[in-house]
Amino acid sequence: MRRPSAAALGAFVAVGGAVAFVLWQLHPSLLLLNTTTSGGDTGAHVAVPAFLRDHLLPHGRLTGWSPDWYGGYPALTFYFPLPSLIVVVFGLVLPYGVAFKLVTVLGLLTLPVAAWAFGRLSGMARPGPACLGVATLPFVFDRSFTIYGGNVASTLAGEFAFSISLSLGLVFLGVVARGLRTGRHRALAAGLLALTALCHMIPTFFVLVGAGVLLLMGADRRRLRWIVGVVVAGLAITGFWSIPFLFRLPYTTDMGWEKVTEYAHNLFPSGQRWVLVLAIVGVLFSLVRRRRIGMFLAVMAVLSAAGFVLAPQGRLYNARLLPFWVLCLYLLAGVAVAELGTLAGELWRARASAGGGRITTEGLVGFLTPVLALLAAAGFVAAPLVNLPSWSPVKPQASFVPDWVRWNYSGYEGKPSYPQYRALIGTMTRLGQQQGCGRAMWEYGPDLDQLGTPMALMLLPYWTNDCIQSMEGLFFESAASTPYHFIDQSELSVTPSQAMRNLPYGPLDVAAGVRHMQLLGVRYYMAFSPQAQAQAAADPDLSLVATSGPWPVTSGSTVIQRTWNIYAVRGAAEVAPLSEQPVVMTGVAKGGKSWLNAAVSWYDDPSRWNVMLAASGPSQWARVRGSDPNPPTKAVAPVQVSGIKTTDDRISFDVDQTGSPVLVKTSYFPNWQATGANGPWRVAPNLMVVIPTSHHVSLHYGFTPVDGLGWAVTAGGLLAVAWMAGRPLVTRGPRRGRGVRRDEEVPGEGDGRGRDATELETALNRIGALSPLPWSPTATTHTTPSPPPPR
């Protein structure tokens, strides 16, 4: 067995040290503690893999319907399914709480390795790849942004899927760079692209642009064939998820995130000026020495910054592009460090040669440069993370990361308010058992964070075995019912979040909130503020059915006693007869602002609720132009509804007569299919109406032609990848663009062919990752032996 070179050992120490540092800061003892992760959105993400495991997979689905949030929403249809699936797989051998924690940190722990692999696969000479891996360390702990994705703060806030996608995307770019040069690895590249996309969409955009830039840096017809095949096959694999995503976008919610316009402050924060200086040095070295990867990173940095500045106000929040700008700066800083180390070695060798001697510096430079870079990066990152002694001349601003890590991974169980939380959950569990399962609307307040996160009660269905559903949940954009929830929250909370912009929010008005809860089929209202409780006590449609407390709660600088009151909402059955025939709106799109404006206007005026506004319907329903405030009325004989039963993806009930419309108070989605009734049709705000043709009616969340198309595309993508694996496409060597050389061809930097990339390829071939399939045609390859090292 060949002994590893000094440069390889240096890369192992540097990259492994970066991973170990990240793991150390994430508190392995807490990660391996089987508690329920709390903090930010992450504290509600806990429920999603469990729902996939317990409900979707048993139905043979990776995406499907969940009744847990917003009165029902399409689970994992508009969010990324792969991280949840990984949690389920890890949970086969680990406790669920531990499996979930490990997946949340997976992207952070693999990012240094992914950056190193990107450098090696793209042909960077040593010590470049190891320096790229080290450069991700300060990026991971960067505090210039906290929620946009990629760094530890964003991951703790809930963007762990972004972090995993980013790591996969960097490896994909490395394989693309190598594949464009060799014509090989199309199947591997397509698979990596699919995995990247199924983890998060935004890093996928970044790496697709990156693949295009790599192509343009040496484009010819064969390279174009290579990249087109990879992109088409890779995206096709995601078809089971991406095709319904694209076709069903009208049934999502645009939260109206406001474009960030403080460009200079975000692109050049004061704490990153040293990074910018090093990045500029890296760009200059790349231009002078004609380094392809340095030039590539410079182009990607410029494109990321341009995207942040030029992206219009819309669904794509421009701030989500900032992490790529920041990452490129850090990677360019890594390029600068590698080039400075190489330059020092060259100067040393030149000086020795001038004195008549001859020395070899590659190994020493390859070892010392990344190891010293690791020590410098770790020291820089660690200073704000630890309590430095009073005599220390350096006093950096303390980082919030250690406290946030402890807060998240100690879990709900580690919070002082856990007894209050468990007691409240226990109260709702017993209430569901005694008075029936159903939806709960809970008063929002920022001090709910003391439970573990302000979103702690989103886990009501998780803790109650899906008996009590929460009207608020994650994935705001995934449910078309989201806007109406936030209107209700504003009416039923003293300090509402009002998370969605441009809605007609009003002050606390429990009576108005009760009417809305009745319309949406909400069974329970949970209030803690004295103001909300006083209004609730005066409402005839609310009856107090349980309490929890009093509990000590810190409010500002004082400790108060808090009691939760739980009320049953009268007249909130999930299926109800109609007394007037609905009308169909014309000139209103099935989604977007057109539908939202019409539905919100109707929802905000209870005097109009006698006539439901439908997106479509049978010919006998009257047609009105837009959201007509005075539609024609036509009385119908109300049916008697009984025997209402609901499961995770089914709703059934009985009626005493057929032919009259019935309102089903569950969020509409095109996958709902009725048996024993015509419909369902979508009605405002986002509910369903059916017309029974039988005395027993059943609705089922099924498959549609759109789903079938998606799975067909996925099957085609998998077949294409199998074909590409069996028929590697061989291209000519890289076209030597003007003044642009492959990094490994620079004299004096290694073994001429790029030993790093060759060793990685050999290792991957040993496990079959890059090998043709057994039935593929035999291909003869010729390799040029590396020149011997200088004596």
User: 240-288, pLDDT tens digit by residue?
Assistant: 999 999 999 999 998 888 899 999 999 999 878 899 999 999 999 999 9
> What distance in Å separates the CA atoms of residue 101 and residue 73, rounded to the nearest whole number?
25
Kind plus residue range of the DSSP H or E element containing 524 = strand 522-527
Q: Are residues 556 and 697 in the same domain?
A: no
How far apart, in Å, are the Cα atoms of 225 and each of 229, 468, 506? Answer: 6, 53, 57
For residue 625, is it within any domain?
Answer: yes
Counting the structural domains of the chain, the total is 2
- Amino acid in position 272: Q
CA distances from 654 to 388, 521, 641, 657, 699 (A): 70, 17, 6, 9, 12
In single-letter form, the type of residue at position 197 comes to A
| Among 471, 466, 473, 472, CA closest to 432 | 466
Q: Is the pLDDT of residue 690 over 70?
A: yes
Residue 240 tokens read as: 């089971």
Edge-first strand order for the sheet with 558-569 is 468-470, 438-442, 522-527, 558-569, 542-555
Question: In terms of DSSP bridges, do strands 468-470 and 438-442 run parallel, antiparallel, or are they unpaired?
Answer: parallel
Mean residue pLDDT across the chain? 90
Predicted local confidence at residue 757, as pLDDT: 46
pLDDT (tens digit per residue) in 586-621 = 999 887 889 999 999 999 999 999 999 999 999 999
Is residue 501 domain-resident? yes
Residues 514 and 445 in one domain: yes
Residue 359: its pLDDT value, please? 54
Statement to judge: residues 538 and 501 lie in one domain: yes
Buried b (16+ CB within 10 A) or exposed e, 399-420: bebbebbebbbbbbebbebbeb
Residue 520 and residue 472 in one domain = yes
Type and span of the H or E element at 555: strand 542-555
pLDDT tens-place string over residues 693-707: 999 999 999 999 999
With cut-offs at 50, 70 and 90, classify the pLDDT of residue 398: confident
User: Predicted confidence band at 782 (pLDDT cuts at 50, 70, 90)?
Assistant: very low
pLDDT of 748 over the 80 cut: no
User: How would you classify the pairing of strands 575-577 and 558-569?
Assistant: unpaired
Pair (552, 694) in one structural domain = no
Whether the CB-CB separation of 473 and 522 falls below 8 Å is answered with no
**pLDDT per residue as tens digits for the range 413-459:** 999 999 999 999 999 999 999 999 999 999 999 999 999 999 999 99
- Residue-level pLDDT at 355: 61
Q: How much is the pLDDT for 348?
A: 83
Percent pLDDT > 70 in the chain is 89
DSSP-assigned letters across all residues of 584-629: EEES--SSHHHHHHHHHHHHT-GGGTTS-EESS--TTS-EEESS-S
Q: The tokens of 540 are what?
A: 């005839």
Count of CB atoms situated within 10 Å of the CB of 40: 25
Query: Is 654 in the same domain as 682?
Result: yes
| pLDDT for residue 394 | 57
Same domain, 524 and 437: yes
Say if 601 falls within a structural domain: yes
**pLDDT given at position 646:** 96
* CA separation for the pair 770, 389 (Å, rounded): 51
For residue 641, give both structure tokens. Answer: 């509804």
Is 80 exceeded by the pLDDT of residue 787? no
Burial (Cβ within 10 Å: 0-12, 13-18, ≥19) of residue 250: middle
- Please check the confidence at residue 239 and state whether its pLDDT lies above 70: yes
Contact 234, 197 (CB under 8 A): yes
Which pairs with CB-CB distance under 8 Å and at least 24 residues apart come from 356-364?
Answer: 358/790, 358/791, 360/789, 360/790, 362/7, 362/126, 362/748, 362/749, 362/750, 362/789, 363/5, 363/6, 363/7, 364/6
The DSSP output letter for 681 is: E
In a domain, 543, yes or no: yes
Q: Band the pLDDT of 349: cuts 50, 70, 90.
A: confident
Q: How confident is the model at residue 774 (pLDDT cuts 50, 70, 90)?
A: very low
First to last CA, the chain: 23
Does pLDDT of 573 surpass 90?
yes
Both structure tokens of 426: 């226990």
CA distance 663 to 648: 19
Q: Which helix (H) or strand (E) holds 348?
A: helix 322-354
pLDDT in tens, 637-684: 999 999 999 999 999 999 999 999 999 999 999 999 999 999 999 999
280-307 residue pLDDT tens: 999 999 999 999 999 999 999 999 999 9
pLDDT at 8: 92
Asked if residue 431 and residue 552 are part of one domain, the reply reads yes
> What is the SS3 assignment for 231?
helix
pLDDT at 503: 94
pLDDT band for 391, please (50, 70, 90 cuts).
Answer: low
Cβ–Cβ under 8 Å, residues 460 and 474: no
pLDDT of residue 392: 55
pLDDT value of residue 726 = 84
d(CA 687, CA 573): 13
Give the 3-state secondary structure of residue 583. Answer: strand
pLDDT for the residue 786: 41
Rounded mean pLDDT of 28-36? Answer: 97
Residue with token string 């001090």: 447
Question: Domain ends where: 510, 541, 569?
Answer: 569
Tokens of residue 217, six digits: 């840096």
Which range of residues forms the domain containing residue 617? 575-664+668-702
Residue 250 domain-assigned (yes or no): no
How confident is the model at residue 351, as a pLDDT? 76
Q: In which band, very low, low, confident or very high, does the pLDDT at 1 lie, cut at 50, 70 and 90?
A: low
Q: Is 631 helix (H, G, I), strand (E, B) or coil?
A: coil
Looking at the structure, do residues 615 and 537 belong to the same domain, yes or no? no
Containing H/E element for 152?
Answer: helix 152-157
Residue percentage of the chain with pLDDT more than 90:
79
Burial of 388 (0-12, 13-18, 19+ CB in 10 A): middle
660 and 540 within one domain: no
The two tokens of residue 584 are 């169909």
CB count in 10 Å sphere of residue 790: 11
pTM over 0.85, yes/no: yes
- Rounded Cα–Cα distance for residues 278 and 451 (Å): 43
Q: What is the pLDDT of residues 357-379, one digit of tens each?
A: 555 667 788 899 999 999 999 99
Tokens of 669: 């989605």
Domain membership flag for residue 72: no
- Decide if 519 is inside a domain: yes
Instruction: Tell me what pLDDT residue 743 has.
Output: 54
Question: 554 and 625 share a domain?
Answer: no
Q: Measure the CA–CA gap between 61 and 703, rounded to whole angstroms.
A: 10
CB 331 within 8 A of CB 115: yes
Cβ proximity of 65 and 72 under 8 Å:
yes
How far, CA to CA in Å, does 320 sit from each of 257, 326, 600, 774?
11, 11, 29, 43
Picking from 463, 453, 397, 471, the residue whose alpha carbon sits closest to that of residue 430 is 463
Measured on CA atoms in the order 590, 591, 596, 599, is the torsion positive or negative? positive
Residue 524 lies in a domain: yes
Q: Which of 569, 586, 614 is the last residue of a domain?
A: 569
422 with 511, same domain?
A: yes
- Number of Cβ within 10 Å of residue 782's Cβ equals 4
pLDDT at 633 over 60: yes
Residue pLDDT, tens place only, 754-764:
444 444 444 44
